[in-house]
Structure 1
Amino acid sequence: MLEVLGITAPIFCIIGMGYLAARFSLLSREQMRGLGTFVITFAMPALVIRALALRPIAEVLNPHYLIAYVLASLGCLAVGLVVFRKLHGHNLSNSAIAAMGMGTSNSGFIGYPIALMAVGPQAGVALALGMMVENLVMIPLALALAEAGHQGGGSTLTVVRETFKRLSRNPLILAIITGGILSIAEVKLPVVPLKLIEMLSMASAPVALFVIGGVLYGTKVRGQVGEILQIGAGKLILHPLLLSLGFLVLADVEPAMMTAGLIMASAPMMSVYPILGQRFGLEGRCAAALVITTLASFITISLLLIFIKH
């Protein structure tokens, strides 16, 4: 138990420090946003390049891991659509945004820092593969479904095309492509750029956690409690459960990658979830789900680590 707390407690302490910094106005919301931009634009891309470029491509592109992660994420999306469409009677846009919260993880800001402490450098590979699934499959698909429902289904192709256009300018996607090319070409980075990448990547985890705490301050939790809890349960329980089943079926995944993947799947939804839901008037529910799920993840991830350690 103490070993698990040694992993999770520092993580959530840094989140708490970010929350307190925002609560007592040590850093403004704009400054927090600036720190988040630094992580997304510089630190995390450096981390992804380092994780991919320093490993052979056969080790990076683990097909069994990717298949299991894709199927688990799509399974959560499908369950969310059924629950919110059939049981709650919501429209496609509402259901798709709820389902996206169940099937996409905050891999970079929460999943990776915990996985790094649990399994070491291989957490970087799991992060890159998870981001490929989230950014190239889950987010475009969920947003295309939501937009189709919002516009009567008339412009799904346009939405998908525009989403991929934006993703092509995303620093994290560019980092995945760059790291993949370096890995395939077996290029050995010179000392200076390698050191620069290492320094930036080291800043990724603590700054990301600090930003999460700052974002949580001021987020209101109100209304639709039952639906919010269902989104949270889908994210924290169903997602890792489906992934564990996928790993059992596709047995050729090494234990460290399995652990990292389960931690990623057990992380709460991404911090931009309320922003993505804003276009459809769902930012309140999305923000409340983000707060509750992030707080609950301290317990669920700790229980997961206890189970793995034993």
Structure 2
Amino acid sequence: MTDILSVTFPFFALVLCGYVAARVRLLPLDAVPGLNMFVLYFALPCMLYRFGSGTPLWQLFNPVVALLWLMCALLIVTGVAWHARRRGAGWPDAAMGALVAAFPNSGFMGVPLILALLGQGGVGPVMGTLIIDLVVTTSLCIGLSQWGAADEHGAARAVARALKGMLRNPMPWSILLGAAAGALGLQLWAPLGKTVQLLADAASPVALFTIGAVLARSQFQMVAQADGGHSPRDVGAIAFTKLLVHPALVWGLGTLAVRGGWLAEAMLPPLVLAAALPAAGNVSLLAERFGADNGRIARVILWSTAVAFFSFSAVVALVR
């Protein structure tokens, strides 16, 4: 366990540093969006481009991995949304609760963390799952959030808005451009390549620090809104689903795929670890945009990130 903590502890420690810095206002809350933009539009795309260019196409676009991940996401989304609707939640809350339970923080945290744990061979499947979550799972849940809209075309318009947002998201484009460059054997102009390398090297520490700052800002916003309409049991159940049910489901279906000869055994551990990551922070922004209870979603993200230090390390010990 010590060797596992030697890898996972620095990652979560950086998240804690960002949280404390924003919590005590050493980092002004107004600076958090700018920090987030630097990671999302500069550092992280360069890191994903580098990994995409150095990863075999069969790892990035493995149809079995895509189908397995999508099946698990659909099961999580269906189960969490159905449970929320039974408890009287509206479609926006049911859909965003389902999304935060199915969408791990693969971009900001997963790729660098799983690279440190499993090496380059674990990166390809994780980036493949990231594309599925950004394009399919997110669009599905956004459409579901507008299912009960008065306008009969509300869901379709919401999906269209989601797809437009996806087209503006640099992460999938960075992976695709990197994969194309690697497949064609293209090399960046040396000065440009060095710039990309510097930004890519900054992605992991700054992204982790930013996660903590975003969590602290979300907590301040929750207090300001005085939101108390949802019980902690609901938040805890969704966080439990994200951290334990999701990876168990991926492990179960993935094991069947390995035994059936459809999936290489080496590709299963990175998929399980990706599913064991805490919830993605951008779901909070989507919840606010599409009329869900943002405080509830922010609590799930905060709780899942805090508990993941222990649960993720336990999953690593099981799958390695």
> Is residue 2:299 matched to residue 1:288?
yes
Pair 1:24 & 2:24 matched? yes
Amino acid at match of 1:185: L
Aligned-pair distance for 1:176?
2.5
One of 226, 230, 255 as aligned partner of 1:248: 255
The runs of at least 4 aligned residues of structure 1 exceeding 4 Å deviation read: 220-223
Check the 8 A contact 1:48/1:125 in 2, yes or no: no
CA 1:166/1:265 → structure 2, altered by over 3 Å: closer, same or farther?
A: same
In structure 2, the residue matched to 1:91 is 90
Other-structure match for 1:137: 136
Question: 1:6–1:253: structure 2 CA closer, same or farther, 3 Å change rule?
Answer: farther
1:306 lines up with 2:317 in the alignment: yes
Structure 1 residue runs without a partner (length 5+): none
3-state secondary structure, aligned to 1:18:
helix
1:55-82 deviation per Cα after TM superposition (whole angstroms, max 9, x unaligned): 3323432222222111111111111122
Alpha-carbon offset, residue 36 of structure 1: 1.3
1:180 aligned partner: 179
Q: Tell me, yes or no, if the aligned pair for 1:56 and 1:186 is still in contact at 8 Å.
A: no
What is the Cα deviation at residue 185 of structure 1?
A: 2.6
TM-score (norm 2): 0.89
Q: Give the 3 Å change call, closer, same or farther, for CA 211–256 of structure 1 in structure 2.
A: farther
Query: 8 Å contact 1:123–1:257 — kept in the other structure?
Result: yes
**Partner amino acid, structure 1, of 2:300:** A
Counterpart in 2 of 1:233? 240
Segments of 5+ residues of structure 2 without an aligned counterpart are: none
In the TM superposition, residue 152 of structure 1 has moved relative to its aligned partner by 5.7
CA distance in 1, matches of 2:150, 2:311: 37
Does the 8 A contact of 2:66 with 2:128 survive in 1? yes
Task: Quote the Cα distance in structure 2 between the aligned partners of 1:180 and 1:64.
Answer: 18
- What SS does the corresponding residue of 1:296 show, helix, strand or coil? helix
- 1-side partners of 2:149 and 2:279: how far apart? 22
SS in 1 for 2:27: coil
The RMSD of aligned alpha carbons is 2.0
Paired residue for 2:70? 70
C-alpha distance in structure 2 between counterparts of 1:121 and 1:180, whole Å = 14
Residue 255 of structure 1, CA deviation: 4.7
Relative distance call for 1:214 and 1:161 in structure 2 (3 A) is: same
Q: What TM-score do the two structures reach when normalised by structure 1? A: 0.92
CA–CA distance in 1 between the matches of 2:150 and 2:216? 33
Counterpart position of 2:125:
126
For residue 190 of structure 1, report the CA deviation from its aligned partner: 4.1
Residue 146 (str. 1) matches residue 145 (str. 2): yes
Structure 1 residue 292 displacement after superposition: 1.0
Percent identity between the two aligned chains = 25
